[in-house]
Amino acid sequence: MELNGLLNLQAMMFLLIGAGVFLKKRNIITPEGRGVLTDLIVDLILPCNIIAAFYTSFDREMLVAGLQILIVSVVLQLFCMLIGGLCYQRVPRSQRMILQYGTVCSNAGFLGNPVAEGLYGSLGLLYASIYLIPQRIVMWSAGISYFTESPDKREVAKKVLKHPCIVAVEIGIVLMATQLPLPVFLEKAIRSLGSCTTAITMLFIGTVLADAGFHQMVTKTTVIYSFIRLVFIPAAVLAGCVLFHVDSVVMGISVVLAAMPAGSTTAILASKYHGDEKFATQCVVLTTLLSVGVLPLWCMVLNGFSS
């Protein structure tokens, strides 16, 4: 299995985070500017990224071929929601919402496709694209609800359904299901804005990390969360795949994508909805740092199963 692509992606992320730290330390990005950056990402750039992710060639044969990995992904999302509901009851709400979202939403949306393609070729890319469909739906539905507090469930539902990223998911599903072509200028504009997601999100995380600091990043809570995100969840996926005799390629992709670090959007949404953004950034950065060593180990484990 080729890991150079994975290591290069991780190195790029840390370089962008470092640039964000530098810009914040030099006061080029001010606290007010960071607020504007948050709104820009959540209200425009992320929705474009979501639409672009769903707007892909997809036919019935591809869905049948990937039905097994689709089932694995759906079961995994339900499992992650269960973990999120059970494991963090004693954590303050400002941190609990972050841990729940970070458990449901990994960084597979960014790292997933290139890693799967690097490890398994074009078949891996196809399976990864299918695998990510349930996560993209859950992270912008149940995921958003973790950050939305209201005594009236109807009000919560309204807030969630009106969220720009949820609207983007709905548009994306329609485009994927119907394969309706968009005007070329519109498609290019959406893809151009969506492609900014990684760079701007990592810069944002760097600005928060500049205030949060590295010295408080390793705590009992962040270590437990990192274990759940990087070890427990993929181990459960591996056990389930072995138990039900899942195809080796499907098992490999499912385990690797389940072992991805916390999604970078965790910090963005914590900032947007007045959660503990410093804690969210620490979770994202720590799991990303640890994943540099953990992901290759999972690849070695999978090699043992396939040999």
Cβ atoms of residues 156 and 148 within 8 Å = yes
Residue 85, phi then psi, degrees to nearest 5: -80, -20
Residue ranges in 162-276 assigned as alpha helix (H): 164-178, 184-194, 197-212, 220-227, 233-243, 248-258, 265-272
Cα→Cα distances 218→3, 213, 262, 282, Å:
26, 11, 15, 8
Supply the DSSP symbol for 107: T
SS3 content of the chain, % helix, strand, coil (to 5): 80, 0, 20
Tens-digit pLDDT profile for residues 220-275? 999 999 999 999 999 999 999 999 988 888 899 999 999 988 988 888 888 888 78
Domains and CATH numbers, the chain: 4-302 (1.20.1530.20)
pLDDT for res 306: 65
Low-confidence ranges of the chain (pLDDT < 70): 1-6, 57-65, 113-114, 117, 122, 125, 149-160, 212-214, 306-307
Q: Is 141 exposed, middle or buried (0-12, 13-18, 19+ CB in 10 A)?
A: middle
Q: Extract the tokens encoding 127.
A: 């399976």
270/104 Cα distance (integer angstroms): 15
The kind and range of the H/E element at 283 are: helix 277-306
pLDDT for res 274: 79
